Structure 1
């Protein structure tokens, strides 16, 4: 299968390499560009650090993290935090709800945590943790902005340019990247071709923009992991 990898770097290249190893033809064309924060995170007596994306890991280098538990949303984020020198790192192995549960199972209410977040962030895990009595401080560690236009390689593939095979599917790793891919394809006049792809989404939350646009989502894994998502390339069809 020829599959569009729309997620931003650094994860995009790794995903493309995994697809190639599985015998697929990856089309590497991110629709989001990640920029890092200017300036260090705030200092404070934090009982833990929250990471909901590996994109926030570079901010750890500016934070005094020795001995401060890092709560990571998933395995890839946890591995990146460990590589940056964080210890201990606790892996929620799931989504923001799982991350909230892990914190509540580990720390007593009243603890103050620093969330190294993106500029576009969801209510969770902060909302449920604050409701449970935790104090959450937010540091915007990165921003992910849509690229100005649909990448030319994708436009060529969706448009069926001579000599270039059409795309078969697209991988979506975040709601924001799925939304950006949808909007960029529509702006390029290729919304119909985009909708006709087989769409593989990391979670039901990631699929929301596509479902809202009445686009059929081919597969969502039961657990939000890359391994489960890639296994779905030969899996069964998902229904919401």
Structure 2
């Protein structure tokens, strides 16, 4: 798995419980950024595209707890509920699908809190986007890349897919499983095999990867 911690360890545990071995190679490490929360009265919803916002947003998040949450994915929604937020909508695909769903619920002034690399499309209903964390690239050696041969790489994000594409000049011996069509597209072509998870959830991605591995 190439995803950052703590997700890397969580995915590895799920793979192990399914009776398979996991090669852990995080491409990025997530770190908090300094940020200033806006006036919650200026917004009618809080968009969360990753549980990393809740892990790394710090105490400033508490000032926005009155805003209903629009979450991408069940994991992000669960993390928001645990942190004391009311989840209004949970998207089952990607940020674009969530925004379309939010529009039908009358959301017009949403605040997106996420990573430094924007992961949400431009939209009239997003009044502001603030970065509260950053995913910093970790050093990866040629030996680590070579160890991926004849394995299945699990790609949870567009950034991971792009970096794997850059680091892996010879792709004929590596299969990839992508969380979404956008992630798969970002990885490019030339892989030994490529599949997309049935739904953008870790369990579905693991199932797709096991299918390739078997």
**Match for residue 174 of structure 2?**
197
Partner of 1:137: 128
- TM-score, normalised to structure 2, is 0.87
Pairwise CA RMSD of aligned residues?
A: 2.4
Partner of 1:221: 197
Matches of 1:88 and 1:223, distance apart in 2: 20
Number of matched residues? Answer: 210
From 151, 156, 175, the counterpart of 1:168: 151
Pair 1:231 & 2:207 matched = yes
Whether 2:15 is the aligned partner of 1:6: answer: no
Structure 2: how far apart are the matches of 1:24 and 1:43?
Answer: 48
Measure how far apart 1:76 and its partner are.
Answer: 0.8
- Residue 42 (structure 1) aligned to one of 16, 20, 38: 38
Matched, 1:208 2:185: yes
Q: Is the 8 A contact 2:3 2:28 kept in 1?
A: yes
Contact 2:40 2:67 in 1 (8 A): no
Contact kept, 8 Å, 1:201 with 1:217, in 2: the verdict is no
Q: How does 1:64-103 map to 2 (within 5 A)?
A: 64-103=63-102
| Structure 1 spans left out of the alignment, 5+ residues | 159-165, 186-190
Does residue 120 of structure 1 match 2:117? yes
Q: Given the two structures, how large is their TM-score scaled by the length of structure 1?
A: 0.78
- Computing the radius of gyration over CA atoms, which structure comes out larger, 1 or 2? 1
5+ residue gaps, structure 2, are: none
Partner of 1:62: 60
Contact 2:54 2:79 in 1 (8 A): yes
The SS at the match of 2:69 is: strand
